[in-house]
Structure 1
Amino acid sequence: MNLQLRHVTEDNFFDIINLKSELKQEKEYKLFESMVGSNAFFIAFASVKGWINRAIYDGDTLIGFATHGFDKEHNRYEMVSMMLGHKFQGKGYGKPALRAILDDMIHEYDCKEIYLSVIPENESAIRVYTALGFEPTGEIVKAFVDEHIYCLKVS
């Protein structure tokens, strides 16, 4: 495994927006997939929020995508989105990819806490998040669907 985070560029833009978290999404172009917003949605949203997008690669293979930034409304740093393409799920990428994104955030912002939201039905994501130290805050955010908030205290 040779994970790298890269910027979204003209060269990888279409590959990123075509990367889907579920096979059934391959032929559809929706703003929201069942467990995550589309990559196109987050690229656009990041452009107006001042957030950072990262393409996740294993060597030269695009495997995922993430967005992070400072949420001014809640005065906190958030991993706004992280997804792995459906072909790369269940292959041991979840924790290393999440660690890479968290390291990127810590380096970029020197933050002491990192927040994220997750759909309660996304049990596999919750297992990865809690395994790396995220804890539920009890807060629920009203997004496209209700999402539970988790926090990681950075030491």
Structure 2
Amino acid sequence: MKLALKEVTENNFFEIIDLKSDKEQEKIFQIYERWVGSNAFFLAVCQTFSFTPKAIYDDNTLIGFTSYGFRKETNRFELISMMIGHAFQGKGYGVPVLKAIIDDMVNMYNCKEIYLSVIYNNERAIKTYEKLGFVPTGEVESAHHPEPIYCLKLS
């Protein structure tokens, strides 16, 4: 595994937009997929609210997309999206990708805490987040679905 978080450019933009988290999503375009907003949605959020979008690669293969940054409304550093394309799910990418994102956020922002929200019944994502130390805060974000908020405290 040779993971790298890379800039979104003219060269990978459409490939990122086409990457879906669920095979059924290949047939349709929606703003929200089953477990995550579409990459197109999060690219727009990044542009509008000054978050950082990154393409996730294993060597030269695009496997996912993430976005994160400082959210002014909450005064927090937040991981607002992490998606792995459906063809790459179940192959052991979750934890290493999340570690790479955390490292990138710490290097970029020198943050001491990282927050995220997750759809309440996305058990696979919740297990991955908890495995790396994210804990529920008791808060719930009222997004497209109710989304419990998790926090990772860094030393």
How many residue pairs get matched? 155
TM-score normalised over the length of structure 2 = 0.99
Question: How many Å separate the matches in 2 of 1:120 and 1:72?
Answer: 24
Question: How many Å separate the matches in 1 of 2:98 and 2:17?
Answer: 20
Question: How many Å separate the matches in 2 of 1:109 and 1:41?
Answer: 23
SS at match of 2:90: coil
Structure 2 residue 59 is the aligned partner of structure 1 residue 27 = no
1:96 maps to which residue?
96
2:60 maps to which residue?
60
Question: How many Å separate the matches in 2 of 1:28 and 1:102?
Answer: 31
2:49 maps to which residue?
49
1:17 maps to which residue?
17
Question: How many Å separate the matches in 1 of 2:19 and 2:70?
Answer: 25
Deviation per residue, 1:12-45 (Å, 9 max, x gap): 0000010000000011110000110000000011
Q: Percent identical across equivalent pairs?
A: 59
Compute the displacement of 1:74 (Å).
0.6
Counterpart AA for 1:52 = T
Where structure 2 has 5 or more consecutive residues not aligned to the other structure, the ranges are none
Question: How many Å separate the matches in 1 of 2:37 and 2:28?
Answer: 13
Structure 2 residue 87 is the aligned partner of structure 1 residue 87 = yes
2:135 maps to which residue?
135
Task: List structure 1 runs of 4+ shifted beyond 6 angstroms.
Answer: none
Question: How many Å separate the matches in 1 of 2:28 and 2:151?
Answer: 32
1:115 maps to which residue?
115
Where structure 1 has 5 or more consecutive residues not aligned to the other structure, the ranges are none
Counterpart AA for 2:91 = K
- Cα RMSD between the aligned structures? 0.4
